[in-house]
Amino acid sequence: MILQGKCALISGGSRGIGRAIAELYYKEGAELFIMSRHADQLKAAAAEIDCQHEGRVHALPCDVSCKESVDEAFAEIKAQGKSIDVLVNCAGVNLRGPLETMPLETWQKVLDINLTGTFLLTQNVFEMMKAKGGGKIVNIASLMSEIARPTISAYVASKGGVKMFTKAIAIEWAKYNIQANAIIPGYIETELNAPLIADEKFNQFIINRTPAGRWGKPEEIAATALFFASKGADFITGQVLAVDGGILSSL
Ligand code: GCO
């Protein structure tokens, strides 16, 4: 199995894309820490993912936007004698609204979770990965790392930052054999996008705008996250791969 003996930390791992990545990494033999702010939902998700009841999935409640919460989470990982080989930064929120009336709190919350959260988790895995002679960082970026649409300015800014931060990690830590890459999901059937799917006009717009003619599935992102976490990607770093049904390649 591709991730046998590896320990992965997946933020946002209880639902959506992060949950699909957790399930695939589990199937490939990894031990997992899954993170989210909601302890009950997280505990239930960990038990569901650990379907072979091997105690290989640990629920680690954490608010990635809060340094103290992240420090506490890593203290717990160390207290369990574990060390992270693969970090997947998937935790993300999208709070929508017109730019001209967007409250500063909304802007701050989106940037703090999507971008600063990625920074805090990434900084915390460095010593673990350096000590083990290397590691993998997989960041979930977005179509909005490359293009924008109205009413999601904070999210666009945060995901543009995630893309470029991935390259910054890659060039600084390549000498430690730590690879960092990003995935750009297209429009994927997740809770985050539930309001969009329910909006028939927007739903049809996405189907028409996507050359593949459909929304993507979380599992289709997970497959790429598995590749980036594998030995086969040891010489790939600082890359951004769109799994978007062709959207970014089409007018
Ligand atoms: C939106 C959506 C998008 C997608 C995704 C695309 O409001 O347009 O939430 O941002 O979720 O990020 O890659």
Is the pLDDT confidence value at 109 over 90? yes
Give the tens place of pLDDT for each residue, 40-71.
999 999 999 999 999 999 999 999 999 999 99
**Residue at 251 is within a domain:** no
Buried b / exposed e over 96-122, threshold 16 CB at 10 Å, is beeeeebeeebbeebbbbbbbbbbbbb
The total domain count for the chain is 1
Query: What average pLDDT score do residues 115-131 get?
Result: 98
Is the beta carbon of 10 within 6 A of some atom in ligand 1? Answer: no
Place of tokens 């028409």: 208
Q: Whose CA is closest to 237, among 189, 179, 173, 191?
A: 179
Is the pLDDT confidence value at 72 over 90? yes
Is the pLDDT confidence value at 204 over 90? yes
pLDDT value for 2 = 95
128 with 80: CB under 8 angstroms? no
Query: What average pLDDT score do residues 118-123 get?
Result: 98
**Residue at 140 is within a domain:** yes
**Residue at 1 is within a domain:** no
Is the pLDDT confidence value at 78 over 90? yes
Is the beta carbon of 2 within 6 A of some atom in ligand 1? Answer: no
Query: At residue 29, what are phi and psi to the nearest 5 degrees?
Result: 95, 0
User: Residue 197's CB: how many other CB atoms inside 10 A?
Assistant: 15
**Residue at 125 is within a domain:** yes
pLDDT value for 77 = 98
**Residue at 110 is within a domain:** yes
Active-site residue flag, 155: yes
For residue 51, the CA-to-ligand 1 centroid distance in Å is 30
Mean pLDDT across the chain, nearest whole number? Answer: 97
For residue 198, the CA-to-ligand 1 centroid distance in Å is 14
Query: What average pLDDT score do residues 180-205 get?
Result: 96
**Residue at 52 is within a domain:** yes
Q: Give Dmax over CA atoms of the chain in angstroms.
A: 51
**Residue at 102 is within a domain:** yes
**Residue at 42 is within a domain:** yes
89 with 166: CB under 8 angstroms? no
**Residue in 102, 114, 144, 159 to alter for ligand 1 test, most ligand atoms within 8 A of Cβ:** 144
Query: What average pLDDT score do residues 211-218 get?
Result: 98
Give the residue numbers spanning the domain of 230: 7-243
214: helix, coil or strand?
A: coil
pLDDT value for 192 = 83
Give the tens place of pLDDT for each residue, 136-152.
999 999 999 999 999 99
Q: What is the DSSP letter of 190?
A: S
Give the tens place of pLDDT for each residue, 187-199.
999 988 999 999 9
Q: Which CATH number does the domain housing residue 142 bear?
A: 3.40.50.720
